[in-house]
Structure 1
Amino acid sequence: MAARATLHCLTGCAIGEVLGMVVGTALGWGSMGTMVLAIVLAFLFGYALTLRGIVRAGVGPRTAVRVALAADTLSIAVMELVDNGVIALWPGAMGAQLSDVTFWGALAVALAAAFVATTPVNKWMIGRGKGHAVVHRYH
């Protein structure tokens, strides 16, 4: 269950992260601007995927937002910390262009590391009735 919750979280985060990195790099933004955009979009897409399922279950928007925030914030935060930490520490990753193997390789390794680091966090939260355990009450 924790791995599935993390994969769900990773999907939203990866969409936002990749989109942010691609847009920031394509526009020639600096490392900080690109990373901030990627983080903001990762949270946005992560929450959006959770909200979609909760709203589809018939939950009102206000409650759905509260549930998504409670379920995903820690998971997304850990994922983004690890993901962006790997990219920031990877030699040449922040200066790589979209056509560089380094850009895509570092991003893939960073997302994989984020998955590995976040799965125990989700397991811990689910074991305490938090995180995606809350979301599953609405499915």
Structure 2
Amino acid sequence: MDHSTHHAGPERGLAADRHHAEPHGRHVSDASWPMAAKATLHCLTGCAIGEILGMVVGTALLWGNVPTMVLAIVLAFVFGYSFTLFAVRRAGLDFKTAIKVALAADTVSIAVMELIDNGIIALVPGAMDAQLSDGLFWSALLGSLAVAFFVTTPVNKWMIGRGKGHAVVHAYH
């Protein structure tokens, strides 16, 4: 059977073109803003838990800025990955495969979120020296997470549209 004419014709419209492979054989799918926002919110939840816990622990223990930020970033990645890891494990993946999926789904999103979040905290005058009882501590931390959400959402939309990031997780739901 000759497949060369199978794809020709009026039934192949713009919607079909959007689902075609881009160069190098990577599949391009539609990625909606709500889908990207949901993926980013999922990432933000894990990052926020880790980030807040790290900042609270480091500040409470009177650690310096660098060790506190390192702890916050490490915990943000741990909690960010763990949400995806537990979800795909519940879906039946073995632990090794689940780790690979979590790394593929969340690494870029968490990294962008942490870069923006910690960059803002570092740039807000006095935020790095604020104590847990200071409004500046909480406003800088929560404000930076909000900005990180809005910056990371288009990144996730772009990645999902190319079959990367959280699109990897959706194959297992």
TM-score range, shorter chain: over 0.9
Bigger helix fraction: 1
Equivalent of residue 132 in structure 2, options 81, 98, 107: 98
Aligned to 2:128, the other structure's residue is in SS state coil
Equivalent of residue 37 in structure 1, options 71, 75, 78: 71
- Deviation track 1:16-65 (CA, whole Å, cap 9, x = no partner) reads 00000000000000000000000000000000000010000000000000
Partner of 2:29: none
Partner of 2:55: 21
Instruction: State the AA in 2 paired with 1:110.
Output: S
Q: TM-score, normalised by structure 2?
A: 0.80
Aligned to 1:58, the other structure's residue is in SS state coil
**Over the residues paired in the alignment, what is the CA RMSD in angstroms?**
0.3
Count of matched residue positions in the alignment of Structure 1 and Structure 2: 139
Partner of 2:159: 125
Equivalent pairs: percent with the same residue?
Answer: 76
Aligned pairs for 1:80-91 within 5 A: 80-91=114-125
Quick one: distance in 2 between partners of 1:93 and 1:49? Answer: 28
User: Would you say 1:47 and 2:55 are equivalent positions?
Assistant: no
Quick one: distance in 2 between partners of 1:74 and 1:47? Answer: 11
Q: Which runs of 4+ in 1 moved over 4 A?
A: none
Q: TM-score, normalised by structure 1?
A: 0.99
Instruction: State the AA in 1 paired with 2:97.
Output: T
Answer with 1 or 2: which has the greater Rg.
2
